[in-house]
A and B are shown apart, each in its own frame.
Chain A
């Protein structure tokens, strides 16, 4: 069965510190991969996506993610976290037909001043 796992439910980092959010997927073939961010009571905003090619992808708000086929991972990183980054982050995978996303359970990021 297709699945996406985000091992960390909560992460707390200090403002200005670096951040890495983990994501692992289990799919028959390499899926399309996405990271979304959700503020409380809001919809999902796309941060970045990986379809093919360069395994390091850049996104909005200074985020980047690296696709590692050997580890079935697509971890999200940011060199220096801002207080406004506090939110819930979701990793998602999509089959090549593009007809549905499978989401991980999310990681809630808290930022200490």
Chain B
């Protein structure tokens, strides 16, 4: 399977703990995106990478959130000192250099208790 892969699929954590999610994009895609989706809502843009450069960040991405894409391949999204409001589905997507069609992974569902 050469689709976008996200791990873990589910994560339950206690409030105040740190969590990290991983996204492996489709191999020839140089653009990578993170979105957050809360229950009953559409996905909201968090951040975007072109190769290893993080080019845009939403105001939704507070100081507790950090994303990296160290070698322009996989990406990680870390949330520090989690809060109950961080409970959501975190979606990763990737796209080709010249194309604009984004392919999404299955998502990581985070529950903060």
Residues on A facing B (Cβ under 8 Å):
4, 6, 32, 34, 36, 41-46, 49, 51, 90, 92, 94, 98-106
Residues on B facing A (Cβ under 8 Å):
4, 6, 31, 33, 35, 40-45, 48, 55-56, 91, 93, 95, 99-107, 109
Asked if A46 contacts B103 (CB within 8 A), the reply is yes
Per DSSP, are chain B's interface residues mostly helix, strand or loop, or mixed? strand
With A90-B43, A98-B31, A105-B41 in contact, do A51 and B100 touch (Cβ < 8 Å)?
yes
Report chain B residues within 8 Å CB of A51.
Answer: 100
With A44-B91, A46-B101, A98-B95 in contact, do A103 and B107 touch (Cβ < 8 Å)?
no
Report chain A residues within 8 Å CB of B99.
Answer: 98
Q: What are 20 of the A-B contact pairs (CB < 8 Å)?
A: A4-B42, A32-B100, A42-B106, A43-B105, A44-B43, A44-B93, A44-B104, A46-B103, A90-B42, A90-B43, A92-B42, A98-B31, A101-B33, A101-B43, A101-B45, A101-B102, A102-B45, A103-B44, A105-B40, A106-B42
Asked if A43 contacts B106 (CB within 8 A), the reply is yes
Asked if A49 contacts B101 (CB within 8 A), the reply is yes
Q: From A41, A46, A100, give the contact of B45 (CB < 8 A).
A: A100
